[in-house]
Every structure is written in C-alpha cells, then in structure tokens.
Structure 1
Amino acid sequence: MLVRKFDSHVALDSDDKDALAALPHRVREMSENSYIFRERATPGECAVLLEGFAFRQKLNRDGERQIVSLHIPGDPLNLQSLLLDRTDHGVQALTHAKVAMIPRSAMRQLALDRPNIATAFEISNLIEASILREWLMNVGQRNAQTRIAHLLCEIATRLKDRDLLGHYEVELPMTQKQVGDVTGLTAVHVNRSLKALEVEGSIERYRRAIRCPNWEELVRVADFSESYLHLGRQAAAC
C-alpha cells in the first residue's frame, strides 16, 4: 500500500519500489480509539496504516477535541516525524486497525538514498497541508449541512482513488460526536444535517453505511472540488 500511495504522486522505478517494500517493520494491531502516537511524544518509528481508519486530533486544556485529519489504508501517519523530534498532536485508531511501524532511521536513510522517494514524502506532506486548509475553510465559512456533505464527498473520493469504494457507498466508521469533532458541530447539528441530506435525496443511510445515489447533487451541496486533494502524479515531480 505504501508503494502504491507514493507511486500515485511520483513515478517510482522498480528499485524505488523494491526499497520501499524492503523497509524493516513490525505490524501492530490497534483496537478502536487506542493511541498510535500521543501528543508530545518522541517517536522512534513512522507508521503506515494498513487496515482500518485513523485520525489525528488536538485537545485543549479542558479535554475538548478537534479532529484535524482522517486517514485511510495506505496513508503514512507521521511523516513529519522524520524531521521533527516531538509530535504536536495525537494519532488514534478510529476503528480496529493494523499499522506498520517502520524505524524512523530507516525511513530517513531511504529518503537520503532515493531522491524520488524523498520527493514523494514531501508531496504527501504538502497534500496533507492542502487538505487541512480546505478543512479550515469548511469549519470557518460553510454552513452545517454543507460541512457534512463536504466531508462525505472527500471520504468517498479518497476511498475511490484507492479502489476502496464501491458504487459511492461509504461505511462511515464515525459516531455523530466524532463527525462533530471534525466539522466543529454538535452531535445534534450533525444528526439534523444528515437527516436533511437524506430528505433531499443526496444520501441514503443504512446504519453507518451511506450511499450517494445523486453524486452530482451532493457535490453541489458540498461546494466540493477534488482539486485540493491533488490526486494523481504531480507533473513537476515527474
């Protein structure tokens, strides 16, 4: 999954792919809501999500949480730790998950030895920053219903890009409280917004499964453009 993730940004040659695949690692099984990294930790490893979902979060002194990113299989979870010695946020498993833990020293050496891979690391970090900017726009300038629709569009688009989505159906592994922690809304507002999208025919809900039968309408309601996800190889890096 890591090879495919980085090859989607930069054209990796066979030696690059072999070097990524040969990275030493151990696989950790993570239970739902367990910490992969804690804030202010000094990690000696870089993590790649193999199965399940994960999220990054910030907590204020009162324990209130803001989820600042969501991660799907294939995502590296802490590439910034290659150069920063302390984490400024926590990383938790959203669902039961499998995570590959790779020694930070091995990842750093790989980036030094293989320029294409170093470029892929940098592009991955830049895309994460782009997504964060869009999330700031979502929380700051869009209404509740649009925020929820935008989140659904993003998750569906990212899963589809990894061939992890069938017929625009998302198994949303989040409680309404967690959706609120992403979008800056209360669980009550999240529930109302989901119901409104359902009544309008933009989505259909079956427990945690959400289908998008009218994708174009959901995209319109969400004010969504996938351009900020920078899908595909970046021409300047090829």
Structure 2
Amino acid sequence: MSSEPSLVLEPMVRRLSYWSKLNADDRGAILDLPHRAKLLERHGYIVREGEKVSQSCVLLSGYAIRQKIVAGGARQIVAVHMKGDLVDLQNSFLGTADHSVQVLTDSQIAYIPAEALKKLAFDRPTVGMALWLDTLVDASVFREWIANVGRRDAHTRIAHLLCEFALRLKVAGLGEATEYELPMTQEQIADCTGLTPVHVNRTLKALEVEKLIERRSGRSVTIGDWRKLAAAGDFDSTYLHLHENEGALTVRTPGVRRPGRA
C-alpha cells in the first residue's frame, strides 16, 4: 500500500498556510488528521442550531452560510464560506451550536473531531496560531457585516458585498477580482443585507445603470470600475486582513472612507 498521505484536507492546509508559515511536518500533521468526507446536497445542513457538536468541518468544495432564524421565521445570514474555510470551528469548540450552518450548493465537506483539532493546536503551536488567526479574521468579517447591515443604506450594502466577494473569491482561486459568479440568489443576498429580494433586485439594476457592474447572466458580475464600486460601497479591505502582496489587492481602493448615502 502507498505511504503517501491523503490529500483530502489540502484545502485546509492552503487556508491555514495563508495565516502562518507551516513547515512540512505541520502540513503533514494537518493532512493526517482523522476525518470523514461527505457530499452534502444543496441546502443540506452541516449543523443545526441547538445541536450538540463534537466535530468541526472543512469546506472542500462549494459554498456554505451561517444563519440565525428569529422568532418570526425570518432568516439573517451572518457569513458566507467557500472552499478551504473551517466553517464550524466555533460550534465544535463551544459544544452546542448557537447558529445553523447550511450549504448553498452541492458541497464536499470533511468532518474532523474537535478533540483532534485541539490536540493538533497544542502539539503544533504554529498550526494553533493559524487556527486562532482564522477565527479572529472571521470575527473581523462579522464586525464589518454588522456595520454594513446596521449603518449603510441598500445601495452601499450591496456594493460593499460585491466588493468583498470579488476579493475573497480571487484569493480562493474561484474567480477574478473584476469578474465572477455570485454564489447566492437575490433572496439569499437579501438575507445577508437585511433587505427584501425586490429591493436587492432594484439595487443591482441601479448599479448596472450607473455602470458600476454588468450582469451578462443571472449570477455573473463584471465590475466595470473597481474604485468607483468600492467608493459606492464604502469598502476598505482592511477587515479581510489580506497580505500586502496579495494579488487581489491590486484593485483595492485607497483606505479613504466616504460617508454613506443618506
């Protein structure tokens, strides 16, 4: 039998390598983590709010969302995840899921026992630091999304979200900074931004009229003028904590804030 390690968790290695300089032994230890790969169909749940959780999950392909359902049944999407993301690290370490995680598309995932991750983090401090940094960046994105929903108007919220996806998809190797496929429907964008699907549709059309974006098909987005779209979205990429030499930042707007629209 081959002694070569499984490469199933390679997307996780690439993700954590972005935050810390991992050596060959660190990478090997991640690849050797016990895991169970599974294909989840579109809209399937990785975990539901209230469940007891003893494992984390790495997204190997596809897209997933974190969401909260309020008493009236309305949904707020609080994060969108893509290939390589550790989408359930918080729930698995806390023991009980305080929110649900659901896949948007058919997705390949790998479940990893939480205890194995904890042991790896303590045994290999560089990996532990990478896991810590990953959760800190998640928290940074959460803060920006709170500001986006709470203090920006619809036009600014949508423009901001489009800019964020442009950079994140570029870094993940899933699109270009100026052209990509949105992983969400307009209803799901509405749940990200606290708007109605009708309002989202009108705002996207307005951005097209302003020639800030072009949509050649249902979910395709082409950004005509990155700096103008970033200005319209009050977008500054600092909260994503991308590397200064990151290629996606070649289109970044200068870090000058502008007031949101009234």
Higher RCO, 1 or 2 (CA under 8 Å, sep at least 6)? 1
**157-166 vs 145-154, which deviates more?**
157-166
Partner of 1:91: 101
> Scaled by the length of structure 1, what TM-score is found?
0.95
User: Within the alignment, does 1:3 sit opposite 2:13 as a pair?
Assistant: yes
Deviations 1:169-208 (A, max 9, x none): 2211212111110000011110110000011111111211
Q: Which residue of 2 aligns with 1:126?
A: 136
Deviation at residue 42 of structure 1 after TM alignment: 1.2
Letter in 1 for 2:151: Q
Please tell me whether residue 183 in structure 1 is matched to residue 163 in structure 2.
no
Mapping 1:164-203, distance limit 5 Å: 164-166=174-176, 168-203=178-213
Gaps of 5+ in 2: 1-10, 245-262
The answer for the alignment partner of 1:215 in structure 2 is 226
Tell me how far apart the structure 2 counterparts of residues 47 and 148 of structure 1 sit (CA, whole Å): 29
Q: What is the DSSP-based 3-state SS (H/G/I as helix, E as strand, rest coil) of the residue aligned with 2:163?
A: helix
What amino acid does structure 2 have at the position aligned with 1:230? H
Are the equivalent residues in 1 in contact too, given 2:53–2:92 (CA < 8 A)? no
Write the distance in 2 (CA, Å) between the matches of 1:83 and 1:214.
42
Note if 1:117 corresponds to 2:121.
no
What is the CA distance between 1:64 and its match in structure 2? Answer: 0.9
Q: Go from structure 1 to structure 2 and tell me whether the alpha carbon gap of 1:58 and 1:5 turns closer, same or farther (over 3 Å shift).
A: same
Contact 2:169–2:177, Cα closer than 8 Å, also in 1: no
Tell me if the contact between 2:170 and 2:177 (Cα under 8 Å) persists in the aligned partners. no
Number of the residue aligned with 1:232: 243
- Structure 1 letter corresponding to 2:161: L
Q: List gaps (5 residues or longer) in structure 1.
A: 234-238
User: Under a length normalisation based on structure 2, what TM-score does the superposition of the two structures give?
Assistant: 0.86
Q: Would you say the 8 A contact 2:179–2:223 is kept in 1?
A: yes
The alignment's C-alpha RMSD in Å is 1.2
Query: C-alpha displacement at 1:83, in angstroms?
Result: 2.7
